[in-house]
C-alpha cells in the first residue's frame, strides 16, 4: 500500500515538474504571421481621419497615453501617445507601449506592416502574441491606414515603457496557445463609408468602438462570449485602475423592461455621449467617445435601435468598494 502511494506521488510530482518546465521553456513563442500590405500616407485628410479615430471612437488614446494624463485626455486634450497605461490582472502586468515615432522607445523603427499586423493579427513587432486588448482585426483598410498615418505624423516623444510581464498563469496561457495570434474572421472591408446609416453604426459598435466587446456577457477567464450580444452582463472586477469599484455592463438593446436606453431618444443618447464620464473609474472610455461627431452618434443610435430587443435584467452596474457582484 505504502509503495503504491509513493509511486502515485512520484508520478504527480513528475507531471507537475514536467508542466513547469514545459511552460517555462515554451511560452516565449515568436509567431511568423505575414504583414498586411498597407502603407501610411502623408495626405492631410487621411491623417485627420486617423487622429479622429485614435482620440475618438477607436480610443487608442485611452490606453496609450501616460496614466497621470488620463483625466486631461478624457477632457479633450491631445496628449501624445507616449505610452504608460498598465493593467495588473492574473495573467500578468500589461503595459501599453509608446506609439510616437521615437526611434528607440516608440514606433520610429516599426514598418507600416508591423503596426498593421499588431492591429489585424495581435502579433507584436517582435513576434510575441499580444493580449487581446485591441480587437480591431476587421477595421477597414482605409481606417488602419489613417491610424498608422496619424501615428507617424506625431512629434516623437522619448519615453521607455517597461515591457509587459507575465505571471505563471500568463506564461501557461501563452505556452498552451490560449493567448495567440488572432486574425480577422471575415475579410476586412477596404472602406466603410462614414454616414449616419445602420451599416456604419454596425461597423462602429462591433469593430471600431467595440461596444459589443463589453456589452455582452463573457467568460472572465477565456474572454469567450457567453451572453446575447449587447444584452450586457459582462463583469469588471476591481483592478489597479478602478479604486476598488466593480462594474457590470448594462443591457443596451431596446427591450422595454430591461434595456437601459430603451426609453431614451436619439437626442438624449447623443447628449449622454457628449457629456462624458459620470462614474470616475468606469472602464468605458467615455472621454474618447465624447469626441465622436453627430454623424457617428446617430449611426450608433440607429444601429442599436435596429437590433432585436433582448430581455435581460442588469439590476446594478456600479458596485462600491467591498460590495460583491451577485
Ligand atoms: C484597452 C487598452 C488599449 C487600447 C484601447 C489600445 N491599446 Fe494598443 N496596446 C495595449 C496594451 C496593454 C499593449 C501591450 C499588450 C501586450 O504586451 O500583450 C498594446 C500594444 C499595442 C501595439 C504593439 C506594439 C508592439 O510591440 O508591436 C500596437 C501597435 C498598438 N497597441 C496600437 C494600438 C492602436 C493603433 C490602438 C487604437 C486603434 C490601440 N493600440 C488601442 C492597450 C491598448
Ligand atoms: C471597456 C468596456 C466598455 C466599452 C468598450 C463600452 N462600454 Fe458602455 N458601459 C460599460 C460599463 C461597465 C458601463 C456601466 C458603468 C457606466 O455607466 O459608466 C457602461 C454603461 C453604458 C451605458 C449606460 C450609461 C448611463 O448613463 O446609464 C450606455 C448607454 C453604454 N454603456 C453604451 C455603450 C456604447 C454605445 C458603446 C460603444 C460606443 C460602449 N458602451 C462601449 C462598459 C463599456
- Grade residue 222 by pLDDT with cuts at 50, 70 and 90: confident
CA distance 307 to 229: 10
For 2, counting Cβ atoms within 10 Å of its Cβ (0-12 exposed, 13-18 middle, 19+ buried), the class is exposed
Cell 468605458, located at residue: 284
- Which ligand has the nearest atom to the CA of 54? 1
Nine cell digits for residue 274: 457628449
Q: Which residues pair with 135 in a beta bridge?
A: none
Q: CB within 8 A of 4, min separation 6: which ones?
A: none
Which residue's alpha carbon is at the smallest distance from atom 42 of ligand 1? 96
Q: Is the pLDDT of residue 221 over 80?
A: no
Residue 240, pLDDT score: 86
Residue 289 Cβ contacting ligand 2 at under 6 Å? yes
pLDDT in tens, 22-48: 898 889 989 999 999 999 999 999 999
Task: Report pLDDT for 241.
Answer: 86
Binning pLDDT at 50, 70 and 90, where does residue 223 land? confident
Mean per-residue pLDDT, 184-197: 97
CA–CA separation, 232 and 309 (whole Å): 12
Rounded to an integer, the average pLDDT of 193-215 is 97
pLDDT of residue 219: 86
Q: Which three cell numbers stand for residue 317?
A: 452596474
CA distance 214 to 25: 34
Annotated domain spans of the chain: 44-175, 198-319
Model confidence band, residue 2 (pLDDT cutoffs 50, 70, 90): confident
The alpha carbon dihedral of 79, 54, 61, 232 has a sign of positive
**What's the gap in Å between 314 CA and the centre of ligand 1?**
30
Atom of ligand 2 nearest to the CA of 204: 38
pLDDT tens-digit series, residues 276-317: 999 999 999 999 999 999 999 999 999 999 999 999 999 999
Per-position b or e across 14-46, b if 16+ CB within 10 A of its CB: eeeeeeeeebeeebeeebebeebebebbeeeeb
Strands (E), the chain: 86-89, 92-95, 165-166, 235-236, 246-248, 318-319
For 242-269, b where at least 16 C-beta lie within 10 A, e where not — what string?
Answer: beebbbbbbbbbbbeebbbbbebeeeeb
Q: What pLDDT was estimated at residue 53?
A: 98
Atom of ligand 1 nearest to the CA of 285: 5
DSSP result, 299-311: HHHHHHHHSPP--
Give the global pTM. 0.95
Q: What is the pLDDT of residues 227-276, one digit of tens each?
A: 999 999 999 999 988 999 999 999 999 999 999 999 999 999 999 999 99
What nine digits make up the cell of 43?
Answer: 495626405
The yes-or-no verdict on residue 1 having pLDDT over 90 is: no
d(CA 53, CA 62): 12
Residue nearest to atom 1 of ligand 2 (CA): 284
Instruction: Read off the pLDDT of residues 86-133 as tens digits, 9 standing for 90 and up.
Output: 999 999 999 999 999 999 999 999 999 999 999 999 999 999 999 999
Dist. CA 182 → ligand 1 center (Å) = 14
Residue 216, pLDDT > 80, answer yes
CB-based contact 82:106 (threshold 8 Å): yes
Displacement of CA 125 from its chain's centroid (Å): 18
Nearest atom, ligand 2, residue 289 CA: 38
Amino acid at each position: 500500500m505504502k509503495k503504491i502511494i509513493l509511486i502515485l506521488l512520484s508520478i504527480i510530482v513528475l507531471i507537475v515538474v514536467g508542466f513547469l518546465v514545459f511552460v517555462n521553456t515554451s511560452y516565449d513563442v515568436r509567431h511568423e504571421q505575414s504583414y498586411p500590405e498597407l502603407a501610411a500616407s502623408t495626405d492631410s485628410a487621411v491623417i485627420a481621419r486617423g487622429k479622429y479615430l485614435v482620440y475618438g471612437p477607436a480610443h487608442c488614446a485611452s490606453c496609450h497615453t501616460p496614466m497621470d494624463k488620463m483625466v486631461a485626455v478624457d477632457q479633450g486634450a491631445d496628449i501624445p501617445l507616449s505610452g504608460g497605461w498598465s493593467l495588473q490582472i492574473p495573467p500578468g502586468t500589461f503595459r501599453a507601449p509608446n506609439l510616437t515615432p521615437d526611434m528607440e522607445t516608440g514606433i520610429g523603427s516599426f514598418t507600416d506592416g508591423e503596426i498593421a499586423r499588431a492591429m489585424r493579427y495581435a502579433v507584436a513587432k517582435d513576434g510575441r502574441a499580444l493580449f487581446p486588448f485591441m480587437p480591431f482585426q476587421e477595421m477597414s483598410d482605409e481606417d488602419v491606414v489613417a491610424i498608422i498615418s496619424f501615428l507617424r505624423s506625431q512629434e516623437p516623444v522619448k519615453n521607455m515603457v517597461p515591457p509587459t510581464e507575465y505571471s505563471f498563469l500568463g506564461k501557461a496561457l501563452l505556452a498552451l496557445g490560449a493567448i495567440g495570434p488572432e486574425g480577422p474572421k471575415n475579410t476586412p472591408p477596404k472602406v466603410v463609408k462614414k454616414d449616419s446609416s445602420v451599416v456604419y453604426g454596425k461597423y462602429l459598435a462591433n469593430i471600431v468602438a467595440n461596444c459589443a466587446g463589453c456589452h455582452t456577457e463573457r467568460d472572465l477567464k477565456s474572454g469567450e462570449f457567453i451572453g446575447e450580444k449587447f444584452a450586457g452582463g459582462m463583469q469588471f472586477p476591481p483592478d489597479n485602475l478602478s479604486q476598488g469599484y466593480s462594474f457590470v455592463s448594462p443591457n443596451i438593446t431596446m427591450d422595454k423592461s430591461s434595456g437601459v436606453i430603451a426609453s431614451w431618444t436619439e437626442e438624449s443618447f447623443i447628449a449622454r455621449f457628449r457629456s462624458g464620464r459620470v462614474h470616475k473609474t468606469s472602464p468605458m472610455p467615455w472621454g474618447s467617445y465624447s469626441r465622436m461627431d453627430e454623424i457617428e452618434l446617430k449611426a450608433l443610435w440607429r444601429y442599436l435601435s435596429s437590433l432585436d430587443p433582448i430581455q435581460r435584467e442588469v439590476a446594478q452596474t456600479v458596485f462600491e468598494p467591498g460590495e460583491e457582484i451577485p
